Structure 1
Amino acid sequence: MSELRPWLRLMLTRRNRLLIGALLMAATLLAGVGLLSLSGWFITATAVTSLAWAAGAAATLDVYVPGGGIRFFALTRTVARYGERLYNHDTVLRLLADLRVSAFRSLSQLDGQTQSRYQASQWLNRLTRDIDTLDNLYLRLLAPPLVALLGVGLVAVFMALFFPGAAWPVAILLLVVLLLLTLGMACWGRALSDRQVVQTDHLRVRAVEQLQGLAELQAWQVLPEHQRGLLALEHNQSRDRRRLEERGALGQGLAVGGVQGAVALTLVLTLEAYQQGLISGPVMVMLPLAVMALAEGFTALPGAFVHWGSSEAAARRLNEQQALTGRLPVAPESQSVVSLAAMEWQGVTVLLGTTPVFRGLNLTLGPEEKLAVVGPSGAGKSTLAALAARLIDPDQGQVCWGGASLTTLDEAQWRRQVAVLTQDAHLFNDTLAANLRLAAPMASDGELWAVLEKVNLKQQVLGFAQGLNTPIGEFGRQLSGGEARRVALARLFLRDPVLVILDEPLTGLDPATAAIVRHHLNDFLQRRGALLLAHDPEALPAADRTLVLSSQGKLAPFHR
């Protein structure tokens, strides 16, 4: 339960909405109790009165009040059910947004070195599947048992008004059933449902590995073996899911049987009371029907609580993410970042596992120098950029700016002073303007149009019906590859950094567009240091110096 406390506290920030939603659920259940019990009383009272008339006895029955009550409960149940579904659905969506923002905020504050501890598919699993699992907390695990408990209490009080002798035994039986359906089912399904979360994580990682490495798996002729492993994981998960569903079905049987047992007990006790003349015939029928109506509040509990372990496991994994801190050390007294300075890689060694990417690397990027580094994929260009941006720290040696190690500089200030354009710059499922303003939140529309013109995208955007407010879709899918790349470049032009790191900046652009963008990049890089990375120097802006990075992590002058 302790794993859930941080997320419960987050949910309680919307306590008013949670309370209103729970009250609507309670109103639905209690209206059902009133409808069924009053209908039973009314039908029985009508039959008894008819028999009395047939026997020649004088009898009267007011049909208007109970008839009006039946219509009231029927209408209340319908309206409350509709309002509860609508209101609680909106509440759950708001809670999901809160949970995702909280989880993403903690993730976004981690440095690249810490994020690399987990694969992208694992982070995705936390932000999607684990958050969706916590969706069960309010609507399936918190409100329903409380509403059922309230229903038991009110029905017991209602029974005590007519026949106190039946109230306590029935209430105790229903409470025992309620405990079995909640705590009992949670304990019974905890291990299996906990394992489901882990299995889903492993299955997603394995599936993504197979999709991303399909060519390599086929080349090494190990694809069938990898597929067998994936199918084995899926089989294990399906087996455990089936076992969980079986336990949930048994719980459903317990819920129905428990409520029916309480109905039978009520019927026996009220029948005895009727024979003793303590209650009337209509009341004898009304009280068991009131208990029967509680079944609606009980039958949803087993299916929810048998998955309690999934919610705990998801919360535990998200708590581990929230507890992560950056691996990059923070200096006790950080220094300010100077604007014009040289960057130096001094004796830098970086290990990938036990394999060195760089060993004893020494390199200098002079003030305002444009240094191009070209080389094949896997040579270490991205690692060089990550060192410069301080997304990672070297295993040995240091990277300095203005003679001061990056580890001694104010990290937040350094992040603001460095602009990095990676090969796969992300575009969010939002408008074009919102994606551009990630670089400069206060940028005006005029500034956005200006940078779009620099990347030769202004005319295309003017042709969009919504202009800057055009949604570009997830990953920028509404744009072509070249247009998406130019949006990322336009975002770069909105920054004012002291150091610019460009990785394949002109990839995907046609020659005419590349020439325009290269011209504006050359102007932008004036009075700034720049580290330019590519496979081919022709795909880069003008550079003062060009080096070749070999697959062994060695740098040498470039010769055409």
Structure 2
Amino acid sequence: MRAGKFTSLGPIIRLFWRERRGGLMAGAALSAATVLAGIALLGVSGWFVTAAAIAGLTTASALAFDVFAPSAAIRFLALSRTAARYFERLQTHDATLRVLAGLRVRLFQGFAAPGAAKALALRPARLLFRLTADVDALDSLYLRVLVPGFVAIIAGLVTIAALGALSWPLAFAVGAAIVIPGLMIPALSARFAEKPARRRAHAQEALRARAVDLVAGQSELAFAGGLQDQRARVAAADAREYASDLALNRIETNAGFGFDIVTALILSGVLLAGAALASAGTVTAPLAALALLIAFAALEPFAGLRRGAMELGRTLLAARRLSPRLDATPGSRFRPEAPTPGNALELKDVTMRYEGRARAAVSNLSLSVKTGEKVALIGASGAGKSSIMALLVGEAVPMTGTVAALDATILSQRTELFQDSLRANLKIAAPAADDDAMMAALDAAGLGETVRALPEGLDTDLGEQGIGLSGGQSRRLALARLLLRDTPVFLLDEPTEGLDGKTARDVMSRINARASEGRTLLVATHIRREAEIADRLLVIDSGRIISAPKRGEHGFDAALAALRPD
């Protein structure tokens, strides 16, 4: 496993350290205390049993032997180990879950970068996998790699120090026999498990995506004759995951076998060395038993690294996927500048090209929209209208030129509604809005009476993508969100596409009424009814403005007449 593969862990570790530094350190300390208490408990218990057995050989030694002090020590260590284990689990998992919650927040901020969400929307299963399985995989970094590794090193050092009080040659020999194999076996396991773990992660992602496609699109697949092929793809992904699981199980079994061999060798060596030291009178038999059991217990934390080694490949893959989004700071998102006084929107010599496209979507474009003006961007599909909108709201970054805009709200072509209540869908626009403000926005959008007639009113639950509302009602709810946010600029990207003529004209009249209150309106459209409310038309072709007629000019009526009728 090359060192370069670990570079992606840097942002993850920095996030862990920044989010819950104290909690993570406390968890590691409690974990170390748990292991050390366990080692001491086993060692003292072995010493006590051996010493008590020897003392019982004669009446005089039995009467002189103090059973209370070691008994109290054993009880103290047992209770300490139990308490430390409880608080260690509580602390480490609490800290990890809080860090992962912060990680998801940072990921959402990273997905808000220009173009990121749009790219992921092409593969929604990938987005879901990033926010669930990939984030969950990172808990292994702290719980099964960093903390066990830290505790194992501490246990090795303490074992060397404890055995050094008896015999330094024995201490260093046992320490080397514990630490070297104890780290080497997990390291080799992690190296061999990297590819199977990565294949398993890819297979899981493919299995989920294909299974969802099979269930959600079974009607379309059956109609197109692709149902059996899709089932075969699901089975293939499941077979790859099964093969990866078998490979990982074999590696973990071999690692366990390796630790069993090392444990047997260490116990044999310490037993022989302890017997030799006891025979020479260097140590007593109880102390030799103590050394034997300490050496046995000290290897346990190293064996605990096996689980982390098996999951390290998956953790590295998740870190490599997520780190680029974490490196971007929340304030790094592109934001338009403030426009000059009197203007609401400005583009100056702007050129913008989408990734992977040879032709620029916007070419050396300059335009300005005055405060309170109503402007329509018209042109054929692909002319660059939506690209101009994306620039003005910061969803696209210009290659050259400057973008300036007042605070704006965009109503895109697609109505995005969530599986939640009407109230929750409205609060996306204004989290602090009360019921009166929400109902006023619904009234302005023409949906107020409909909501009042519902048994649960604003608490009515919607299905996925707004199921429960008609297409026109969904569009009115999106319009209510626009009105509720109440920004100085409204950006509308084909706001009535897909609506019947009557509903569309009503929606446009309501938008026009609100815009007449001093707001700036920019509409991207190729439909006549949407452009009729504009004071000026900007005709776009291949990312350039080819004409800009105003209302009352001959070119204005001709441009309107060329648009698609209602």
Match of 1:399 in 2: none
Distance 1:453 1:269 in 2: 88
1:531 paired to 2:535: no
1:3 paired to 2:4: no
After TM superposition, give the deviation of residue 118 of structure 1 in Å: 5.5
Pick aligned residue for 2:119 from 95, 115, 123: 115
Distance 1:144 1:471 in 2: 49
Match of 1:450 in 2: 440
1:135-534 superposed matches below 5 A? 135-211=139-215, 213-321=217-325, 339=343, 385=386, 387-390=388-391, 408-410=401-403, 413=405, 416-427=407-418, 432=423, 436=426, 438-440=428-430, 447-448=437-438, 450-455=440-445, 456=447, 480-481=468-469, 488-493=478-483, 494-501=485-492, 520-526=510-516, 528-529=520-521, 531=523
Residue identity matched to 1:500: L
Match of 2:43 in 1: 37
Distance 1:77 1:314 in 2: 34
Distance 1:315 1:282 in 2: 49
**Alpha carbons of 1:292 and 1:351: their partners in 2 closer, same or farther (altered >3 Å)?**
closer
Pick aligned residue for 1:73 from 35, 56, 77: 77
**Alpha carbons of 1:89 and 1:475: their partners in 2 closer, same or farther (altered >3 Å)?**
farther
Distance 1:129 1:300 in 2: 23
Residue identity matched to 1:256: D
Pick aligned residue for 2:17 from 12, 19, 24: 12
Residue identity matched to 1:529: L
- Asked if the contact 1:271–1:284 (Cα under 8 Å) also holds between the matched residues in 2, the reply is yes
- Asked if the contact 1:156–1:170 (Cα under 8 Å) also holds between the matched residues in 2, the reply is yes
Normalising by structure 2, we get a TM-score of: 0.75
- Asked if the contact 2:444–2:510 (Cα under 8 Å) also holds between the matched residues in 1, the reply is yes
> Matched residue of 1:501: which SS?
strand
After TM superposition, give the deviation of residue 150 of structure 1 in Å: 0.5
After TM superposition, give the deviation of residue 420 of structure 1 in Å: 1.8
1:52 paired to 2:58: yes
After TM superposition, give the deviation of residue 68 of structure 1 in Å: 0.7
Match of 1:94 in 2: 98
Distance 1:318 1:234 in 2: 25
Distance 1:275 1:464 in 2: 89
Distance 1:443 1:519 in 2: 24
Distance 2:565 2:241 in 1: 57
- Asked if the contact 1:331–1:409 (Cα under 8 Å) also holds between the matched residues in 2, the reply is no
Match of 1:550 in 2: none
Identity value in percent: 26
More moved, 67-76 vs 379-388: 379-388
More moved, 72-81 vs 198-207: 198-207
1:22 paired to 2:28: yes
After TM superposition, give the deviation of residue 92 of structure 1 in Å: 0.7
- Deviation track 1:297-355 (CA, whole Å, cap 9, x = no partner) reads 13321121122222222211223455799xxx999999659657899xx9x99999899
After TM superposition, give the deviation of residue 172 of structure 1 in Å: 0.4
**Alpha carbons of 1:542 and 1:303: their partners in 2 closer, same or farther (altered >3 Å)?**
same
Q: Which runs of 5 or more residues in structure 1 are unaligned?
A: 359-364, 394-404, 548-553
Match of 2:547 in 1: none
After TM superposition, give the deviation of residue 492 of structure 1 in Å: 0.9
> Matched residue of 1:162: which SS?
coil
Distance 2:27 2:383 in 1: 51
> Matched residue of 2:170: which SS?
helix
Match of 1:61 in 2: 65
More moved, 525-534 vs 273-282: 525-534
More moved, 158-167 vs 453-462: 453-462
- Deviation track 1:100-128 (CA, whole Å, cap 9, x = no partner) reads 22222121122369626962222332222
Distance 2:392 2:211 in 1: 28
Distance 2:342 2:216 in 1: 42
> Matched residue of 1:109: which SS?
coil
- Asked if the contact 2:491–2:523 (Cα under 8 Å) also holds between the matched residues in 1, the reply is yes
> Matched residue of 1:288: which SS?
helix
Residue identity matched to 2:198: D
Distance 1:49 1:179 in 2: 40
**Would you say how many aligned residue pairs link Structure 1 and Structure 2?**
524
**Alpha carbons of 1:524 and 1:26: their partners in 2 closer, same or farther (altered >3 Å)?**
same
Distance 1:557 1:541 in 2: 9
More moved, 518-527 vs 133-142: 518-527
- Asked if the contact 2:141–2:308 (Cα under 8 Å) also holds between the matched residues in 1, the reply is no
- Deviation track 1:237-296 (CA, whole Å, cap 9, x = no partner) reads 220122012211221222333233322221111111112222222212122112222344
- Asked if the contact 2:11–2:327 (Cα under 8 Å) also holds between the matched residues in 1, the reply is no
Match of 1:400 in 2: none
- Asked if the contact 1:457–1:486 (Cα under 8 Å) also holds between the matched residues in 2, the reply is no
Match of 1:397 in 2: none
**Alpha carbons of 1:342 and 1:170: their partners in 2 closer, same or farther (altered >3 Å)?**
closer
- Asked if the contact 1:334–1:409 (Cα under 8 Å) also holds between the matched residues in 2, the reply is no
**Alpha carbons of 1:183 and 1:522: their partners in 2 closer, same or farther (altered >3 Å)?**
same
